Structure 1
């Protein structure tokens, strides 16, 4: 068995905050409440196979939660080195006042290196964190079944392989479950509890309660490609890369839009540079292949070229952005100052853009309201200002149309993104730019791209989330929890849907599908159903 314990692909969804975050921030969490009836009790042995970053992290979590922990690695001496490393980490926690010296002594006394698998015989839970190789994992668990008791829970920390396939050769596959921790395991709260095809419900519940007792936030999901986070997160990268490939905007501007308007912690270009372009692209390709080349998961050609060129991100000194010492980071496009109009007219229901009305009034701009209209602002010169809906400005012919992108919170957004046709008169665009600048916002102008940036990204996230729930992969609540905690999204997909509305999301995707008839943007049946139900409720409520 290989001693390489890097869980390839898991870093793809854990880095939505800087990698320099210090793992030692974790303290002895979870020591209260561990040992619920369904869980692996605090006094029971937890074994971890694989002593790399993930293995050590998982071992630390179990250790500070009060378990005796045994570490095993097939490479001679690795387990002992891991014990020493964990001991040093506990020492740092004591030095920083995050762990009591007595608790440290007790924890060290519970930590042991195992020289062979037979020493794991009395473990109540074994968590594997070795190389992402199906056959290697299957051989390991077959060997473990010869050693541990029939009531021992066997768990894999895989991020990219099928839990069902790993358990396929076991004598008792019902006691096998996926426990997908996120890196760094001591710091990040989310754990995906993955039930394979043969996993017993009691096993999944026992695993769920155990990691909950460790102070983590578990979510349940079925064994599907990418599980929850890796599956649903793909559009965050894919749509940004697509806008870039279409010439709609440069990476710095797209990142700024998703950060400063969408509320995401990092933009997809800087995030994939942090993760590693090779790792991120491999995860995307793995999910795409697992779903039989479903167009919703199609990898980016631009990213493939980046990987082929060896520009893998921070680790090579260059990715989408340069990282060599003294290199200048590209700045997002920001429009120069423009004069704001004195008044603006609102026609119809603005939906999620309604808060802009109050913001304009607070800025001293006169807002007139007229009921007739499909929900847009009318500028003094007659031009129309529309929230991104999946169409383009040039399609309106003579009418001057400027689109603005979706924002998580228009009051708190630092940047507003606009798009318009090349033929749009400069004074029309200046009027729209000045209007948002009057709110104290930076304004970026991008190409006439259908759905813009934040709106199309959110729409795809919602569609994939609805599809996952309808296929019984997870509950809507667990999906939102997973995306908030696993990748630090500002809101889960269903929270976004509540803000934006299923009808608007569905309509935007239908418009995108008309312009890109590849199937990538065709809204799923579940989304169409929810949009229809929302429309029906609204019609009944207006009677």
Structure 2
């Protein structure tokens, strides 16, 4: 099987927003489309709804009148399942209830031909389970569109345990023929996007629960330093706290309460209070309904202007932050360089658990050794956040997607750092054109821990053959608009650094949540030994 011929009929069952969106996509790809819904009259109303969508496309100049007329002529309601008998493909977009979907597909299977392709748009249920009650389970696949379906390019093509490879190929090729970007994955909880994206919310919630920073500041750091298009708290409010929390809980339960997916008590309390986000007028942030009043009124913590130091000492290799050397020089700050001092290697990891069975000081076993630092005139060191512990007077600074283009940097002084050193560090980053947010000293700060967890879950999915590297990165870029695919990001900052961050976090929180997956550990060890993995 390949892509469906455009002369074939596509049926969409479920006439809600998603069903109408999928119908519009198939219709504009040239198919005859039937819309069905179990509620009498809803299919006809949905046909009118799709027609209204096409009217708006004409008004915007995105569809010419002739195409509009032809498309409307290919769209029709189907009042009963029996009316779907001639369909070559049926896409289901009904309520997320396993029993309801199984009964619906059993009814559909009774009337369509044996070569009719069946697809479920489920976002949270097992495709394998949906197909479990079918006489021919091999012809059912997952075809997960993202809302709004006509606009968002990504479609997850999910192979259930019984899915025929030819059916999966047909669904993939058909989605591509419809102008979408399909990615293939196996039937795993959350598929690709909802599985891998959990840390983007979970780590922000954890930092908040530890009172390291407020939601507005966490959002600003992930946007302006991490390069994400939207902060997690604002995004949770947009999605709906109840929806976002339900997805997190569903993935956690499907993974048999794996600590990497543990839901947040803070979010649970928000849901219980009815503060669900934009749709209720308040979530993490307050919202005013009305024209021009849809954005939340909140400001991140930003440090007051401070004087920049005239010089700094850069000791060793700054790793993912090495761009800062050039930026400081360009800002007119004298940069003095020296090698990392060998006597500092012991204890530089400062790792909790050291000496009692914890990981060795340099990072992971066979790790990269002491990380570089920026020494301020007052003697305090600035070090890239890596989650390490220790009693030294150190100021951690957060990981950035690109230190040159980042407009904000987070810094976190340890308990022994005095105010003058914080002012020096603040002035240093301000001289490089960055706003500075001072946050409480929590392991791996905000961006570093978030990116490390995203990379870890991506390597875990790769090792378990959930999807190819290309499809994993494509899914996260297009499905949730990440600035880089997590695997690409991991290669950019190095598997060794990611593994070091997670090892240190695991030493702080020995629950298993932050334990690096075996594939990430293997790649870090291979890189440290000079082996190309």
Q: Same fold (TM over 0.5)?
A: yes
Structure 2: distance between partners of 1:347 and 1:403: 15
Match of residue 505 from structure 2: 512
| Residues 360-509 of structure 1 aligned to structure 2 (within 5 Å) | 360-373=328-341, 374-392=371-389, 395-396=390-391, 399-509=392-502
Match of residue 358 from structure 1: 326
Match of residue 32 from structure 2: 68
- Does residue 167 of the first structure (1) align with residue 160 of the second (2)? no
Residue 281 of structure 1 and its aligned partner are, at CA, apart by 0.6
Of 317, 330, 342, which aligns to 2:298? 330
Residue 372 of structure 1 and its aligned partner are, at CA, apart by 2.2
Match of residue 9 from structure 1: none
- Does residue 50 of the first structure (1) align with residue 43 of the second (2)? no
- Does residue 143 of the first structure (1) align with residue 107 of the second (2)? yes
| Residues 294-333 of structure 1 aligned to structure 2 (within 5 Å) | 294-324=258-288, 329-333=297-301
Of 180, 183, 187, which aligns to 1:216? 180
Match of residue 348 from structure 1: 316
| Distance verdict in 2 for CA 1:287–1:328, change over 3 Å | closer
Structure 1: distance between partners of 2:179 and 2:78: 26
Q: In structure 1, list runs of 5 or more residues that go unmatched.
A: 1-36
Structure 2: distance between partners of 1:537 and 1:328: 49
Residue 367 of structure 1 and its aligned partner are, at CA, apart by 1.1
- Does residue 242 of the first structure (1) align with residue 239 of the second (2)? no
Q: Which has the higher mean CA deviation after the structures are superposed, 47-56 or 322-331?
A: 322-331
Structure 2: distance between partners of 1:470 and 1:276: 32
Q: Which has the higher mean CA deviation after the structures are superposed, 371-380 or 418-427?
A: 371-380
The alignment of Structure 1 onto Structure 2 pairs a total of residues equal to: 499
- Does residue 39 of the first structure (1) align with residue 32 of the second (2)? no
Structure 1: distance between partners of 2:312 and 2:444: 24
Structure 1: distance between partners of 2:393 and 2:123: 48
Residue 513 of structure 1 and its aligned partner are, at CA, apart by 0.4
SS in 1 for 2:185: strand
Residue 45 of structure 1 and its aligned partner are, at CA, apart by 0.4
- Does residue 90 of the first structure (1) align with residue 54 of the second (2)? yes
SS in 2 for 1:203: helix
Residue 537 of structure 1 and its aligned partner are, at CA, apart by 1.6
Residue 206 of structure 1 and its aligned partner are, at CA, apart by 0.6
Q: Is the 8 A contact 1:400 1:428 kept in 2?
A: no
- Does residue 522 of the first structure (1) align with residue 522 of the second (2)? no
Residue 370 of structure 1 and its aligned partner are, at CA, apart by 1.4
Match of residue 291 from structure 1: 255
SS in 2 for 1:185: coil
Structure 2: distance between partners of 1:204 and 1:529: 31
Match of residue 233 from structure 2: 269
Residue 264 of structure 1 and its aligned partner are, at CA, apart by 0.6
SS in 1 for 2:382: strand
Q: Tell me the alpha carbon deviations over residues 403-447 of structure 1, each in whole angstroms, 9 at most, x when there is no partner.
A: 000000111111000001233111111100000000111000000
Q: Is the 8 A contact 2:196 2:457 kept in 1?
A: yes
Structure 1: distance between partners of 2:186 and 2:207: 32
Q: Which has the higher mean CA deviation after the structures are superposed, 349-358 or 219-228?
A: 349-358
Match of residue 85 from structure 2: 121
Q: Which has the higher mean CA deviation after the structures are superposed, 95-104 or 455-464?
A: 95-104
Structure 1: distance between partners of 2:288 and 2:78: 43
Residue 328 of structure 1 and its aligned partner are, at CA, apart by 7.3
Structure 1: distance between partners of 2:50 and 2:140: 27
| Distance verdict in 2 for CA 1:132–1:328, change over 3 Å | closer
Structure 2: distance between partners of 1:125 and 1:390: 51
Residue 330 of structure 1 and its aligned partner are, at CA, apart by 2.5
Structure 1: distance between partners of 2:246 and 2:450: 21
